[in-house]
Amino acid sequence: MKIYFDYNKIPSQAGTVVTLGNFDGFHLGHQKIVRQTIAMARTLRLPALVITFHPHPRQLLSQQISVLTPLERKVELFRAAGADMVLVQPFTRAFAGTDPREFIRDVLFYALNCRHVVVGYDYSFGRGGAGDTNLMKAMAAQLGIGCEIVPPVTNGGEVISSTAVRKYLNQGDVETAARYMGRYYALSGRVEAGEGRGKQLGFPTANLYPARAVALPAFGVYAVKVEIAGREYRGVANIGLRPTFPAQRPALEIHILEFSGNLYGHCLTVHFLKKLRDEIKFPDVDSFKRQVKEDIRQVVALLGNSDMLKWQRI
């Protein structure tokens, strides 16, 4: 898979099949769009090109967004889906001001030689979001471009969307969020030094400090799966401000079962499987230790003896 960061730098193609969007969360609806793009590309014997934007447009225009899928992870998911090319288009104020008709004509048609375009039912583009699927279909017809509008994927009457995924994460319902995404929500990062309190209490933790723009599950304690250098471990994770031992910023503290060793500086990926409880402010250290032992007992009961096969299927 080829990755580009400027549409003008993509080599001339005999034609392309294009889909475009933010794809934040890369949920089941997004996956359907990309699958149909790739299927059409194979039919037409043309490369499948996925266009996404960085930063997320709302980060630039309003700064009121919690990102579900960092760019690196999103590109990995496109690769796994089978895309031939990915364009990570820088989303600047100048680009945001592009007239939607000019975008279709100058970018899709002339620069990318698009022969077929696939977008979701609610896709909007161009200056002020003035471009919509009706304009896309009309201009595509004028330019001889095939156009496919993919209807929403629903669950129990609710449209599966990035907004819905954020809603369930905010509620701590990571299981529904996982069903909507087709995989468990995960946070990745490099382990940083903490205060060492967990080790002193008999429950050593690996500490991650998520970036401010990243979406977080509701504060609380979770059963998690932890990836370390290609291996998987069970764990108990607390995400929040640790009311018993207050912190200045949200931290993700993970007690990893069946693991010992120094993880400082190592990269971890933490998958949230199930919320166990809310954060609690404990009156003393002994009550804190008793609860952590209970949390570990619950994780062992949920995940079995290191057998997480049932948690691989959503």
CA angle 305, 306, 307 (to 5 degrees): 90
Portion of the chain with pLDDT greater than 70, in percent: 92
pLDDT value of position 58: 81
- With contact defined as beta carbons under 8 Å apart, do 244 and 221 qualify? no
| Spatial separation of the C-alpha atoms in residues 60 and 150, rounded to whole Å | 27
For the segment 154-172, the average pLDDT, to the nearest whole number, is 97
Residue 161 structure tokens = 């969307």
Using DSSP bridges, classify how beta strands 206-208 and 85-90 pair: parallel, antiparallel or unpaired: unpaired
pLDDT at 62 over 80: no
For the segment 172-188, the average pLDDT, to the nearest whole number, is 97
CA angle 163, 250, 219 (to 5 degrees): 55
Residues 39-49 have pLDDT tens digits of 999 999 999 99
| Spatial separation of the C-alpha atoms in residues 266 and 61, rounded to whole Å | 34
- Residue 283: pLDDT band by 50, 70, 90 thresholds? confident
Residue 100 structure tokens = 């939607």
| Spatial separation of the C-alpha atoms in residues 284 and 244, rounded to whole Å | 8
| Spatial separation of the C-alpha atoms in residues 68 and 127, rounded to whole Å | 24
Radius of gyration in angstroms for the set of CA atoms belonging to the chain, rounded to a whole number: 22
Residues 244-258 have pLDDT tens digits of 666 678 899 999 998
Residues 3-26 have pLDDT tens digits of 999 999 999 999 999 999 999 999
For the chain, domains (ranges, CATH) are 2-155 (3.40.50.620), 177-311 (2.40.30.30)
| 1 CA to centre of own chain | 20
Residues 82-106 have pLDDT tens digits of 999 999 999 999 998 999 999 999 9
CA nearest to 81, candidates 133, 124, 135, 118: 118
Burial 23-55 (b: 16+ CB within 10 A, else e): bbbbbbbbbbbbbbbbebbeebebbbbbbbbbb
pLDDT at 307 over 60: no
| Spatial separation of the C-alpha atoms in residues 285 and 290, rounded to whole Å | 9
- Span of 72-86, 150-164, 248-262, 264-278 with lowest mean pLDDT: 248-262
pLDDT at 203 over 80: no
| Spatial separation of the C-alpha atoms in residues 163 and 27, rounded to whole Å | 11
Whether omega before 55 lies within 30 degrees of 0, making that bond cis, reads yes
| Spatial separation of the C-alpha atoms in residues 302 and 42, rounded to whole Å | 42
